Structure formats: structure tokens, C-alpha cells
Amino acid sequence: MASDWPPTLSPEHERALLALASDYSLSHGLVLRPVPSPADHDISQTSAIHAPYSLFPSPFPARLFQQAKALQPLYNQLYAAITADDHFLEEVVGGAVAKVDEFQGRLYDIWKTVKQEGIRQPISLGLFRSDYLIHAPSENKDAWELKQVEFNTISSSFGALSTRVGEMHRYLLSSGLYPFHPSLTPASLPQNGALAGLAAGLAAAHRAYGKDDAVVLMVIQDNERNAFDQRLIEWEVVDKHGIRLLRVPFSQLRTTLSLAPSSSDSTSPAPHSLLYTPPHPFPSSSPSALTPAPVEVSLVYYRTAYSPTDYYTPAEWSTRLLIERSRAIKCPSVAMQLAGAKKVQQVLSLAHQLERGVPSAAERAQLRASFTGLWPMDDSDEGREGQRRARDEPERYVLKPQREGGGNNIYRGDIPPFLAALAAQDEHKADGEPKGREGYILMSLIEPPREVAQVLVRGGEAQGRRADVVSELGVYGVVLVDEERGKVIRNETVGHLLRTKGRESDEGGVAVGFSVIDSPWLI
């Protein structure tokens, strides 16, 4: 996209730039917990390393960046509608997916249970991220297209750290250490409002709950390395909005959460309010307290619970059900998490499916233009075509399960033997039972621009690696929706994330070590 970028620097110049970038990262919270040594059991609480970043901003077509931003409110609206559409979720997720994918099945069972009991809190919060690649099958830049990779409805991370990387690149430009380029100006590096916008979304949900002295509960993984991306959001919520936010590992909620019982006392929490009993008292709420007192939770914000491995024991499933039964607002609710399944993404690409959430024909056309090829793996006509493509032309496709977090997809030549292994397992099933392949979708591989270079700096390292790279753009959205009435209360685009990886890697996750955090230089 910019053939003369990034520039080749002298060793002395690059060392100076790397030193300044490293100091900026460490002093501005662009950091991760280090990977523990084999002898350690827990993540260090007294040390940090800089997060993986790109030394320079990466060129990105301005028209496609603006297109991605303009699409986000439409995607927010669409996924809010799906979240509120019981019939759609029952048909799409409750069909073969819930039967062949145990994880999706358990989430679906929780949703059905709370629907039958009666939803206690119809409002849910989505902190979404829609991820895109540039499809560039030719060198004609005017023909390049923006194509969606996936839509994330739970634990959309790196909003805070992506904000910090953009700030770092602007600082490095102002420092004078970047070599001159006529198109690289402060105006070409877009401001990123992800940190402030995501925190404002959490604050809006807290206010919608209607109890100022309640707390926001951020549920995290045990031994969380990405703590500072979460802490920056926590501090933004506390400092800018005056709301208490507690970060608590999922496993610690087994014994600390409860639902408020019915009471005739008007000062007591309403029935089914979610109560969290901390391990120690809060002196600010009761200076003389000697034992911890429960606090009411307004909002549960999940930064975990998107993968089977996040449910360490059966107790975590009981915790998830307890939370879903409560009056607390969820980010996301189980219904909203189910709406983010890959199967939903594939079904939306079929004719007439977008009509359920997007009434405008012009807006539906905008969304469809961002779709790449998607096929089911069932026995429908589309499914049989997907199976043929996977069998006969696997080098053009990726097979995706209903998973988040990276590292789960099956690419190219690995697809046929994987499907053969699933078929062998299906031989033991009774007639009429869903096949294992029905838990997957087939997606056309997007062809990103070639001969794009970048200097990648891995977490904690003092030197960069020049590589041929691919960049994936994520756009963050905030949506507050009343699932019962299907009413969208808040819908906005709040920021972006650019992740860049070596072209040799198919996967794109920062947390799992495939990518670095980058920022766009609009050209």
C-alpha cells in the first residue's frame, strides 16, 4: 500500500526508536503480565512487559476505514435484533449447533431455562467488535473491498491497549524520530476513542440499572495476563464516571455470589438482585465493619466465559446460570453471546435473513457488501455445496467452529482429513442425529494485499522483526438493548483496533501470540 514503508533505518536509529517506544509503553500502561516460568504456578503481580506492538503505523485505505466505521451502527442494530429474536435463536442455534457442540448446547440450555422461568432483566449491554480484512485479489487499489472476518459479542478485548498504541505512534511521529514521509502527518493518524467509549458504555448500562451505589462486576480469567487492558477500562469507569468497578476471577464467584431473597424491608435489595460478598469489608461503606457485607451488582461485564476452558469446573456453569437469573444487566447476556455464534454469521448471509433486523434495503446492501463467501456444513443444498468446496478446493477456505479467542480454525489442506475424522465419529450415531460437521461453517479465505511490510516488536523484546504482514481492522460498537421489547436504547461506534501479523500466520489473536497491536495510517 505504501511501497516505501516502513523505512530502513540504521541500527543506531532503530535502537533509539525502539528504546523510546519501549519507555512509552511501560510508562503509559501498554503492558501485559509476563508469561510465567515453568516453575511458577501464578502470573506475577509485581512485573510487566510491554505488549506486542508495531514500531510504525500501518498504511490503511481511508475509504475502507470509513466504510468500517459506518457499518458498525448497522451491525450493532442487527445483532441487537438477533439477541431479541427468540425464534431465530431457537432455529439457528437450538438446531444442530446446540446438539453437536457441547459448549453452545450448555449456553443454549441456560438461555432456555431463564426464558421459561421469566427474564428478570431484559436490558443487556453489547461491547461489540466487528473484524475485517481487506480483500485485494488484484493490484488495483480502487477495486479492493472490505470483508468481515467475524463479529464478536463477548469479551472484545484490546480497546484500551489499541488506544495506547495509537497514542504512541502519534508521539513517535511528534518526537522527530520517524523518518519524513509526505503523507504521514498527525491528521493521517485517526484518534481512537475505544477506551473512553467502552467505559462510557459500561457507565450507561450502570445508569440504566438505576441504583447509584451498586457496583459493576468485571469477570476475568484466573491468572489474567491481559490485566492492564482491563485495568485501564476500570480506572476510566471509576475516574470519569464515578462508578465502582470490581475485577473478580470467574472461579472466585463460586462462593461469593447470591440472589437477594424476597423481603418486606423497603431498604433491602429487590428480589433477584445480584449480591457479591467481597473477601474483605469496604471501609468506605461501613467504617466499623469487621466482616464483609454483600454489595449489589448493577452490571456483569464478562472478560472471560467465551471458551469451554474458561469454565474450570461445573461450578462456573452454576455461576453463569445464577447471574443470568438475576436482575443485574449482563454484558453480554447468554442470548447475546449465542447471537455471536459463527453459525449466525453464516445464516445472515443467506437471502432474506437480514430483513429481520435491518428494515432499510440500502443498509442491507451495505452489510451484504462486507460479507465473504459462507456455507453451512449440513445437508441443505447450501450445505452440500459447502461440503463439495471443502472436499474439492480446500486451499480456498477455512473451516470455523463456534469458538472465540483464536487458534480454533482449520485451514486449507487440513480441512479434508479433519472432516473425514468427524465422519468417522459420526458412524456411531443413530439415524437422524446431527453430524459433527454441522457445528462448523465454511468461509472463503480473504486475499489481503501483498508486499506490505512492518516492524513487529514482540511483548517484552527489545528488538523488532521486519516481516511481510497482514493487518486486520476491528471496529468497536456499543449497544444497549431491551431484549423483551426489541428496543435499542444506545447504539454507537466508539473506536478501532488494528492487529498486524506475519503473513505466514493464519491466526490473528494478540493474546495467543500471533499478532501485534498496530494503528492505522490513513492513505
Give pLDDT tens digits for 33-86: 998 877 777 788 889 999 999 999 999 999 999 999 999 999 999 999 999 999
Do 108 and 184 sit in the same domain of this protein?
Answer: yes
Q: Which amino acid is at 364?
A: R
Grid-cell match 455470589, residue found: 257
Domain limit, last residue, from 445, 474, 507: 445
Q: How far is CA 246 from the centre of its chain?
A: 20
Strands 397-400 and 410-411: what pairing?
A: antiparallel
Residues 385 and 468 reside in one and the same domain: no
At 186, is the pLDDT very low, low, confident or very high (cuts 50, 70, 90)?
very high
One domain, residues 82 and 227 = yes
Asked whether residue 409 is assigned to any structural domain, the reply reads yes
Q: What is the CATH number of the domain that holds 378?
A: 3.30.1490.50
pTM value is 0.94
Shared domain check, 401 and 476 = no
2 located within any domain: no
CB atoms within 10 A of CB 2: 15
* Inside any domain, residue 498: yes
pLDDT per residue over 335-391, tens digit each?
Answer: 999 999 999 999 999 989 999 899 999 999 999 999 999 999 999 999 999 999 999
* Domain annotation covers residue 432: no
Q: What is the pLDDT of residue 512?
A: 47
Q: Residue 507: its pLDDT value, please? A: 60
Q: Which domain holds residue 301?
A: 11-284+291-370+450-522
User: How far is 430 from 95, CA to CA, in rounded Å?
Assistant: 17
Task: Tell me which residues are annotated as active site.
Answer: 129, 150, 152, 157, 342, 400, 404-405, 499
Q: How far apart are CA 80 and CA 478, in angstroms?
A: 10
Residue 3 lies in a domain: no
DSSP-based three-state secondary structure for 338 = helix
Residues 462 and 408 grouped into a single domain: no
The number of folded domains in the chain is 2
Instruction: Please state, in angstroms and rounded to a whole number, the distance separating the CA atoms of residues 338 and 153.
Output: 9
Looking at the structure, do residues 493 and 466 belong to the same domain, yes or no?
yes
224 and 349 belong to one structural domain: yes
Same-domain status, 204 and 249: yes
- 507 carries a ligand binding annotation: yes
Q: Are residues 59 and 166 in the same domain?
A: yes
| Cα–Cα dist 364/443, whole Å | 20
The pLDDT score that the predictor gives to residue 289 is 60
31-70 core/surface letters (b: 16 or more CB in 10 A; e: else): bbbeeeeeeeeebeeeebbbbbbbbbbbbbbeebbebbbe
Query: Does 1 have pLDDT greater than 80?
Result: no
Paired strand residues for 518: 498
pLDDT classification of 404: cutoffs 50, 70, 90: confident
Same structural domain for residues 407 and 364?
no
Of 445, 471, 501, the residue that ends a domain is 445
Q: Evaluate whether 299 touches 480 at the Cβ level (below 8 Å).
A: no
Residue 409 labelled as part of a binding site:
yes
Q: Is residue 5 part of a domain?
A: no
359/399 same-domain check: no
Q: Are 59 and 311 in contact (CB under 8 A)?
A: no
Residue 43 among known ligand-binding residues: no
Residue range 274-289: mean pLDDT, rounded: 75
Is residue 4 situated within a structural domain? no
Confirm or deny that 157 is annotated as ligand binding: yes
Query: What pLDDT does residue 264 have?
Result: 65
Final residue of a domain: which of 445, 478, 505?
Answer: 445
Query: Same domain for 277 and 416?
Result: no
